[in-house]
């Protein structure tokens, strides 16, 4: 067990080095000089240029710069944003709860619909519910999510007027940021209607972001269930005369969940990519929108920091999934 943990961690370290190297090189690969980029169109005097060069350590050899950068990361220092002059680390974590809240809702939405859909499809293999559900899943999987978002906005916000088009909260409610999670903060504020407003703002982005994970989970649940339903112990359970509900729900589903959990872990990357599009469309003040805005406004330290942090989050989640998987399934450990 310990060997497995160490081996898995052993692949984490070089990937971390690589990822930090990519984000380190990002600013240096940009056309133009980073100091001049910072100055913008106004330019600067040679004297000031020299000062900044020293201040940011650009006059040092490249490997020392990289070392500085990594030490900074480990201390929670991602540099200052070009445009706001605030620490990128602080900006990231101020906005991260919004993305986390949205992603969590999307995954819950995907699980609530995807698991039952996959089970029903597997149990009715080849019959119409299976075909209907799996065709729908394939459509969902093929959906350009920015288009899906536009359709939902046209229907629910435009024609029906049910949901707001952008943001996280109506302007009429105001309360201090507590946790950064609007659902919790609005409840804690005790203001009437604030929680309902938070939910309303969440509905469309949740559906948009959750659609692809929903389709993937439904498909994966179906195939995992089918595999398990063919096993001997399921046949034994059936021969013993257990009810279908007990067989499918208890015996089969429990074992079918293992690959499904892995897939959910792998969806983190998809969610982060999806968040970029979803947040941009719904003006959701999270990491995804922040990074797109940063690219547009050439705030390259912010882009660099966001790139690194998002990759790190995806890597850590994948690491945790792998380790959990190793604990559940001894076969993986042995590899």
Partner 1 sequence: MSMNAAGIDEPGAAPVERMERPGRLREFWQYFRENRGAVAGLCVFVFFILLAVFADVVAPHSPIAQDRGAFLQPPFWQDGGTTEYLLGTDALGRDMLSRLIHGARYSFFIGVIVVVIAATSGVLMGLVAGFAGGYVDTLIMRLMDIVLAFPSLLLALVMVAILGPSLINAMIAIAIVLQPHYVRLTRASVLGELSRDYVTSARVAGAGKLRLMFVTVLPNCLAPIIVQATVSVSYAILGEASLSFLGLGVDADTPTWGLILADGRGFISQAWWLGVFPGLAIMLVVLSINVVGDWMRDVLDVRQAL
Which residues of the shown chain bind partner 1 in the complex (CB under 8 A)?
11, 14-15, 18-19, 22, 26, 29-31, 135, 138-139, 141-144, 146-148, 150-151, 153-154, 158, 263, 266, 269-270, 272-273, 276-277, 280, 291-292, 295-296, 303, 307, 310-311, 314-315
Of 147, 294, 123, the closest CA to residue 225 belongs to 123
Shorter beta-carbon distance to partner 1: residue 182 or 287: 287
Shorter beta-carbon distance to partner 1: residue 207 or 310: 310
Give the residue ranges of DSSP H helices in 230-252. 232-239, 244-246
Q: How far is the CB of 320 from partner 1 (least distance, A)?
A: 14
Q: How far is the CB of 188 from partner 1 (least distance, A)?
A: 32
Residue 40, sorted as left (phi over 0), alpha (psi -120 to 50) or beta, turns out to be left
Shorter beta-carbon distance to partner 1: residue 103 or 186: 103
Contacts of 41 (CB under 8 A, 6+ apart): none
Work out whether the CA dihedral 270, 273, 277, 280 comes out positive or negative. Answer: positive
Shorter beta-carbon distance to partner 1: residue 45 or 142: 142
Q: How far is the CB of 10 from partner 1 (least distance, A)?
A: 11
Shorter beta-carbon distance to partner 1: residue 68 or 293: 293
Q: How far is the CB of 138 from partner 1 (least distance, A)?
A: 6
Q: How far is the CB of 60 from partner 1 (least distance, A)?
A: 23
Residue 57, sorted as left (phi over 0), alpha (psi -120 to 50) or beta, turns out to be left
How far is Cα 260 from Cα 50, in angstroms, rounded to an integer? Answer: 55
Distance of CA 197 to the CA centre of its chain: 23
């Amino acid at each position: 067990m310990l060997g497995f943990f160490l081996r898995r961690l052993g692949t984490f370290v070089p990937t971390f080095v690589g990822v930090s190297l990519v984000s380190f090189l990002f600013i240096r690969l940009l056309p133009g000089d980073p100091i001049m980029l910072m100055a913008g169109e106004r330019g600067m005097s040679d004297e000031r240029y020299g000062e900044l060069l020293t201040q940011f350590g650009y006059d040092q050899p490249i490997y020392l710069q990289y070392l500085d950068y990594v030490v900074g990361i480990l201390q929670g220092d991602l540099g200052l944003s070009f445009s706001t002059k605030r620490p990128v680390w602080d900006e990231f974590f101020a906005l991260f709860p919004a993305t986390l809240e949205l992603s969590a809702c999307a995954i819950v939405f995907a699980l609530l619909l995807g698991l039952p859909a996959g089970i029903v499809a597997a149990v009715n293999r080849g019959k119409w519910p299976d075909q209907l559900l799996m065709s729908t899943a394939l459509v969902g999987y093929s959906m350009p999510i920015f288009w899906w978002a536009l359709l939902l906005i046209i229907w629910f916000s435009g024609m029906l007027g049910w949901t707001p088009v952008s943001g996280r909260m109506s302007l009429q409610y105001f309360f201090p940021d507590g946790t950064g999670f609007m659902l919790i903060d609005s409840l804690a504020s005790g203001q009437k209607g604030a929680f309902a407003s938070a939910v309303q703002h969440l509905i469309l982005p949740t559906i948009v972001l959750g659609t692809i994970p929903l389709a993937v989970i439904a498909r994966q649940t179906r195939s995992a269930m089918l595999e398990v339903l063919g096993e001997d112990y399921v046949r034994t359970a059936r021969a013993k005369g257990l009810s279908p509900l007990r067989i499918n729900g208890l015996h089969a589903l429990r074992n079918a969940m293992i690959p499904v959990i892995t897939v959910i872990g792998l969806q983190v990357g998809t969610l982060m990519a999806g968040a970029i599009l979803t947040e941009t469309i719904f003006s959701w003040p999270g990491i995804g929108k922040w990074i797109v805005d940063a690219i547009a406004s050439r705030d390259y330290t912010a882009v660099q920091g966001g790139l690194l942090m998002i990759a790190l989050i995806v890597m850590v989640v994948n690491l945790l999934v792998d380790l959990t998987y190793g604990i559940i399934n001894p076969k993986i450990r042995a590899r």
